[in-house]
Amino acid sequence: MEVSKLSEKLFAFLESGIYRFENSNSIFIDPVRVLNQSYTRFRVSPSAYYSRFFESSNATQQSSNSRKRKRKEKEKKPYALNERERAADRRHQESEPLLLKALESLQRATDLLEVICNLRDLSDSSPSSSSSRVQQSLIELGRVWQAPLYEITLKFHPSGERNEGGGSPPTQYCERVLPVFNNLIVNETSDDLEAEFMNTRYILPHDSSFYMSDLKQIHNLIPVDNDHGFSLIVIDPPWENGSAHQKLRYPTLPNKYFLSVPIKKLSHKEGAIIALWVTNREKLRCFVEEELFPAWGVKYMATFYWLKVKADGSLINDLDLFHHRPYECIILGQCHGEAVDSNSMSRIKAAPDNQVIISIPGDYSRKPPIGGLLKEYIAGHSPSRCLELFAREMLPQWVSWGNEPLQFQESRYFYERKEG
């Protein structure tokens, strides 16, 4: 009976990408399997998503090992913690037991480990995203004076749908050309949509949309009627960071800029869940608690943790490395729309505190897709209106806003599904 039960749970994981541990507050997510539910003709490439695990360069490996050695040596040097560092360490000490318990749950699930240790899908023949091809910077394009003139070409099937019975897509497309910046681009079909911009091909999932702009244009997302506001808003801000290495990856913004994000005006009048990604920096946590949430009109609900592991189930870093801990936090809050009494919030369910989401990380700063899990705490309406701010990828039934929402929609992150 027990073997049958485990097999049933593993089968559900293979279908959904989500594995729920019994008697535990932890969940394992395979982002590739979760994301693949968003596509019909295409599949997310495991070798591209987990590019760091498929790099074959000895130089890259040696460089990585060298950084790890220097990091550990630095962490071992004794020094007196300042007041803010001591506060951060207290937070860590409080969360460490539940993180260790979550890790133990994963390492006991030997059937799951057998599956996740083989990250590459046999049908995936696409190259790793760490190839030497120069990537076009969407951020830089949006800053030039010609930005309003740039256009994206959407390629629709003539019928708007796939061929009946599956099979290869038609060779002839209906094309629609639209301004790519400061404009809502929508795929209203029930099929994947191919698009072309600046000689680069992109894959857009069904029923998805994006709005590519800088922070000055975010007010264009505010609905005319707050009855049509968003009931789930996920935010992954480009937090200011002193690391020169991170600044080379993507530009950051001072914390004060995020105070102007109109969360209340974007929220549904009957309530919205706000999910904010934060690092373990104490200065940032204090800013969120003391300034950002009050400015947004958001009431704290719970804290989730994202625990980062390798394919063998071990942590990517030692849990006690002070500046490089292998987890991040998602702070959940609730917000109601403009001119509505907070007591009227009826669409938000209570979220359990200290839930741990375990996954293998993908590209630098790419977060696992947690939207499906968060939807469980929205009651009374389906489908939900969902919004991701500072997004770098797209999902069905979501609006993705930011200055690079097409970042991970490039065709090099996908391979075409084989029929039959």
Is the model's pLDDT at 242 over the cut of 70?
A: no
Three-class SS of 218-266: HHHHCCCCHHHCECEEEECCCECCCCHHHHHHCCCECHHHHHHCCHHHH
Name the least confident of 59-73, 142-156, 210-224, 314-328.
59-73
- Give the residue-averaged pLDDT of 13-19: 93
- Give the residue-averaged pLDDT of 225-236: 89
- Give the residue-averaged pLDDT of 284-313: 95
Residue partners of 75: CB distance under 8 A and separation at least 6 = 321, 322, 323, 324
pLDDT at 191: 93
Is the model's pLDDT at 2 over the cut of 70?
A: no
* pLDDT tier for residue 56 given thresholds of 50, 70 and 90: very low
CA distances from 324 to 74, 205, 250 (A): 11, 34, 19
Structure letter (DSSP) for residue 378: B
Q: Residue 257, by phi and psi: left (phi above 0), alpha (psi -120 to 50) or beta? A: alpha
Residue 232 · residue 384 · CB < 8 Å: yes
- Give the residue-averaged pLDDT of 281-300: 95
pLDDT at 4: 56
- Higher-confidence position of 246 and 106: 106
Could you please report the per-residue DSSP string of 318-336? -TT-TTS-SEEEEEEEEE-
Q: pLDDT tens digit string along 321-334?
A: 877 899 999 999 99
Answer whether 0.75 is exceeded by the pTM: yes
Residue 200 · residue 389 · CB < 8 Å: no
pLDDT at 270: 87
Name the least confident of 38-47, 73-82, 410-419.
73-82
Residue 233 · residue 267 · CB < 8 Å: yes
Determine the distance from the C-alpha atom of residue 60 to the mean position of all C-alpha atoms in its chain, rounded to a whole number: 25
Structure letter (DSSP) for residue 277: E
Residue 30: φ, ψ to 5°:
-100, 100
Residue partners of 206: CB distance under 8 A and separation at least 6 = 38, 39, 40, 187, 189, 190, 191, 192, 193, 396
The full length of the chain comes to 420
pLDDT at 148: 87
**Mean pLDDT across the chain:** 84
Residue 225 · residue 268 · CB < 8 Å: no
Is the model's pLDDT at 54 over the cut of 90?
A: no
Q: Domain residue spans in the chain?
A: 208-408
Name the least confident of 33-42, 110-119, 345-354.
345-354
* pLDDT tier for residue 1 given thresholds of 50, 70 and 90: very low
CA distances from 185 to 267, 326, 400, 405 (A): 21, 36, 10, 11
- Higher-confidence position of 219 and 145: 219
pLDDT at 295: 96
- Higher-confidence position of 160 and 45: 45
pLDDT at 96: 94
How many beta carbons lie within 10 A of that of residue 374, not counting itself? 20
Three-class SS of 97-150: HHHHHHHHHHHHCHHHHHHHCCCCCCCCCCCCCCCCCCCCCHHHHHHCCCHHHC
Residue 267 · residue 340 · CB < 8 Å: no
| d(C-alpha 395, C-alpha 405), whole Å | 11
The strand pair at 193-197 and 327-335 is best described as unpaired
Is the model's pLDDT at 62 over the cut of 50?
A: no
- Give the residue-averaged pLDDT of 343-348: 62
Indicate the class that CATH gives domain 208-408: alpha beta
Is the model's pLDDT at 346 over the cut of 90?
A: no
Q: pLDDT tens digit string along 148-202?
A: 889 999 998 765 455 444 555 555 678 999 999 999 999 999 999 999 999 999 9
| d(C-alpha 205, C-alpha 193), whole Å | 6
pLDDT at 157: 74
Is the model's pLDDT at 420 over the cut of 60?
A: no
- Higher-confidence position of 124 and 401: 401
* pLDDT tier for residue 339 given thresholds of 50, 70 and 90: low
| d(C-alpha 200, C-alpha 269), whole Å | 39
Strand partners, 179: 151
Is the model's pLDDT at 243 over the cut of 60?
A: no
Is the model's pLDDT at 247 over the cut of 50?
A: yes
211: its two tokens? 């709005």
387, 374, 287, 276: which is closest to 329 by C-alpha?
A: 276
